[in-house]
Homo-oligomer: A and B are copies of this chain.
């Protein structure tokens, strides 16, 4: 290797928190007052060229623990040659999930796994910038053999073999160019959760639901699960606002036991909810299967808190879900999400990703767009969640027109935040929090 080989020289981390709890944006039955936050990471290189950006999304407290977890991965990353890393992000992913000592803290779940996802996603951001392509296009253009090499089949080979993955990806290549053109022209369908936060009153709910329809969305989502009488009233108001032809999903954010989930969903069935999301614990594969059998025709959806490909595999094997809601920053990054997209494709279950939070829309659109262009080839019954918060902090924010995500065209994974946002909202020393905490102290 020549002396001028560029290497990763730094893994810089930022604890970034936005004070969203003030407006009850993001409020639901389990999360009454989230402060949307990001444990943010920047990979810097010795040639001072492109940077790789990534993050874990959290809702406030504990964001510092997430930063500590990313910091613990630093020795695996610093010193790696940039070209090798970008040519094979899977090699780093493999090393990170395979670190035997860190693995003890999971394995492949929770804080440590989300930290791995942040770093792995930052590598994909860097790789896409190096190739001069938005990530969806990098993935769509990639050789199927190479994509298969990016996946860890351990613990999923009983449901998806490398040969089956290759076959799915080869089939996905057929007609990919036409679909890429369609995507660039029409975008990818979105649905919106903005009307339905639990902290909003009925007037705001109705107004935002109507606005969503006139903005071109064909699906909205309501938070439910705190109080049944309230939910009946809110669902009635929302259904009246949007009419019978708009899909209305409901989301309990894990509030219920299995029996409660069945009862509560049935009690809301008259408002024709399209899916019930997170009816119970994300860990409860068998519970979801039981619920699904009993609430049909309401569909069952989950995924934003599903910890890894192994639990998704079982949700599919058990026939526990109708809709798979992967999250860009919960699992081990793009590599693991490739496995999850392929599992969903094999089982014929549509992927409708979780988004919102901080930057989750920006990231996950790339995965769905790849899925459309070069894997399943369809957007039927597929929508990406959209929440209209905090996009202004991103260099390449999502653009929604007529209820569709526009396809990003800038190189990268759309992960980078403005430096001013990082400086303002770093906790606790960024200018916003320094002032906030000083005021709190003064009035205490």
Q: Which of A121-160 contact B (CB under 8 A)?
A: 153-155, 157-158
Q: A62 is contacted by which of B60, B105, B158 (Cβ under 8 Å)?
A: B105
A34: which B residues are within 8 A, CB to CB?
100-101, 104
Q: A104 is contacted by which of B31, B109, B285, B311 (Cβ under 8 Å)?
A: B31
Q: A103 is contacted by which of B30, B113, B308 (Cβ under 8 Å)?
A: B30
What is the total number of copies of this protein in its complex? 2
Within 8 Å of chain B (Cβ to Cβ): is A110? yes
A158: which B residues are within 8 A, CB to CB?
257-259, 287, 290
The stretch from A81-89, A183-191, A276-284, A381-389 touching chain B is: A276-284
Shortest Cβ distance from residue A175 to the other chain B in the assembled complex, whole angstroms: 33
Within 8 Å of chain B (Cβ to Cβ): is A51? no
Q: A254 is contacted by which of B33, B107, B284 (Cβ under 8 Å)?
A: B107
Give the complex CA separation of A317 and B258 in angstroms: 14
A254: which B residues are within 8 A, CB to CB?
107
A259: which B residues are within 8 A, CB to CB?
157-158
Question: With contacts A31-B100, A34-B100, A35-B101 known, is A111 near B286, CB below 8 A?
Answer: no
Shortest Cβ distance from residue A17 to the other chain B in the assembled complex, whole angstroms: 10
A259-294 contact mask (Cβ, 8 Å, vs B): 1 or 0: 100000000000000000000111111110010000
A-B contact pairs, 5 of them (CB 8 A): A34-B100, A62-B101, A65-B65, A157-B258, A283-B308
Shortest beta-carbon contacts, A-B, top 6: A110-B110, A111-B111, A61-B101, A60-B101, A68-B68, A158-B258
